[in-house]
Amino acid sequence: MEDSFRDWLAGFRREATAEGLDCAPLDGLEPLPEVLQRDRGQAEFTLTIRDYLDRAVSPERLAEGRRQGQARCGLLTEITARFGVPAEILLAIWGLESNFGVTRGDLPALRALATLACDGRRRAFFEAELRAALRILSAGDVAADEMLGSWAGAMGHMQFMPSTFLAHAVDFDGDGQRDIWAESPVDALASAASYLAAEGWQSGQGWAEETCLPQGVDIGLTGRETALPLLDWTQMGLRGPGGAVHAGAGLASVLLPAGHRGPAILIHQNFTVLRRYNAADSYVLAVGLLADGIAGRPGLRASWPAGLTAPSRAEMRQLQAALTEAGFDTQGADGIVGPNTIAAIRAFQRSRGLPPDGYPSAALLSLSR
């Protein structure tokens, strides 16, 4: 490993130096084998959406979120006034990303990024992040030995990748440095608000809204793929648990995170903005529900359906192969539920007279066994 790392590093330095980057922080850089172990050992997602949300939105995290919200009320009010992102959203992301700063990451970011770049599975991505990390050091925001992060290079309270830092980090306390690594979360919280604002966060709107699907509505219209004016949805009879829906102007979609038997969530632009932070609907649901809880709003009213499944990637690959075999092409069998797989599931469901929610339910999975 050492030889190939040295060769790769020499090549990277040549290119980065030619681009004008100061590569001195790479002197004597060694790989971090534990980073590759973590990269190889990423667990298949085996929690149901309900179990995942129960863990993410735990009573302890809710209580700590409220406590932090009270303790930092003045700071959060200032951040919201400047960027338009509500305090509870920032607190929720902080809680999920680093448990309110407790797990900010203690690995040297340069070594972690260089190890992953050399490994080659996502070389272009990690080489770009390593360049961004060198730029951060040149800008003087942090010293190389204090630029710490988690194994995949996400850094500080809000787990920013270096490129996100360069684009969005702010020096909110005005001490001349954008410091997302320090014990104090002031710059980190403001930087996350800056990021979400730049991605188009709509001030004054929530993250999403629970809704009730009226009888007879076309289930095929649900999912992020279909975005309609809110008026279209209300004309179809869509209502909130308390009556009207409030999601405001713009286009909205209806998400069924556990299929047509479970909760229905009306989502709009702010949900999409939160997906920029982590492109998983389950993550955004966790942020939103944690934020609601911190702000004292009620949780989901609809209950999760019985018999929820958490298909492993192997099970999903099996299902994709079976659907494709049956004439519903999933465009490959990678074990990941993407748009093509959802479309194939919907087409299959329609052909059988089932509600076309595109959800890989237990009944659907059993068809491929």
Gap between the Cα atoms of 359 and 196, Å rounded: 29
Residue 175 binds Ca ion (CB under 5 A): yes
Residue 146 binds Ca ion (CB under 5 A): no
Among 171, 199, 315, 334, binds Ca ion (CB under 5 A): 171
User: CB of 197: closest distance to Ca ion in angstroms?
Assistant: 18
232: left (phi over 0), alpha (psi -120 to 50) or beta: alpha
Q: Which one-letter DSSP state was computed for residue 259?
A: B
Footprint of Ca ion on residues 317-356 (CB under 5 A)? none
Task: At 252, give phi and psi (nearest 5°).
Answer: -135, 150
H or E, element range at 181: none
Nearer to Ca ion, 179 or 292 (CB): 179
User: CB of 181: closest distance to Ca ion in angstroms?
Assistant: 11
Q: Which stretch binds Ca ion (CB under 5 A): 171-179, 247-255, 301-309, 313-321?
A: 171-179
Residue nearest to Ca ion (CB): 171
User: CB of 3: closest distance to Ca ion in angstroms?
Assistant: 41
Among 97, 129, 141, 187, binds Ca ion (CB under 5 A): 187
Nearer to Ca ion, 97 or 187 (CB): 187
Which residues on adjacent β-strands are paired with residue 160?
155
- The residue written with tokens 């996350």 in the block is 192
Residue 78 binds Ca ion (CB under 5 A): no
Q: Which stretch binds Ca ion (CB under 5 A): 16-24, 134-142, 167-175, 335-343?
A: 167-175
Nearer to Ca ion, 149 or 263 (CB): 149
Q: Which stretch binds Ca ion (CB under 5 A): 84-92, 108-116, 186-194, 200-208?
A: 186-194
**Any alpha helices (H) in the chain, and if so which ranges?**
2-18, 33-40, 49-56, 59-71, 73-83, 87-98, 109-119, 123-139, 162-168, 186-198, 230-235, 269-277, 281-294, 313-325, 339-351, 362-367
CA distances from 338 to 145, 223, 316, 344 (A): 39, 11, 11, 10
Q: Which stretch binds Ca ion (CB under 5 A): 49-57, 88-96, 163-171, 304-312?
A: 163-171
19 tagged catalytic = no
Q: Do 9 and 15 form a contact (C-beta atoms < 8 A)? A: no
Largest CA distance in the chain: 66
Gap between the Cα atoms of 222 and 261, Å rounded: 13
Catalytic pick among 15, 64, 88, 97: 97
User: How many amino acids of this chain bind Ca ion (CB under 5 A)?
Assistant: 6
**Please, which residues have CB within 8 angstroms of residue 158's CB and are 6 or more apart in sequence?**
93, 94, 97, 98, 180, 188, 189, 191, 192
Q: Which stretch binds Ca ion (CB under 5 A): 18-26, 92-100, 170-178, 237-245?
A: 170-178
Nearer to Ca ion, 101 or 293 (CB): 101
Residue 173 binds Ca ion (CB under 5 A): yes
User: CB of 183: closest distance to Ca ion in angstroms?
Assistant: 13
User: CB of 165: closest distance to Ca ion in angstroms?
Assistant: 13
Q: 3-state DSSP call for residue 246?
A: coil
Residues designated catalytic? 97
Q: Interface with Ca ion by CB under 5 A: which residues?
A: 171, 173, 175, 177, 179, 187
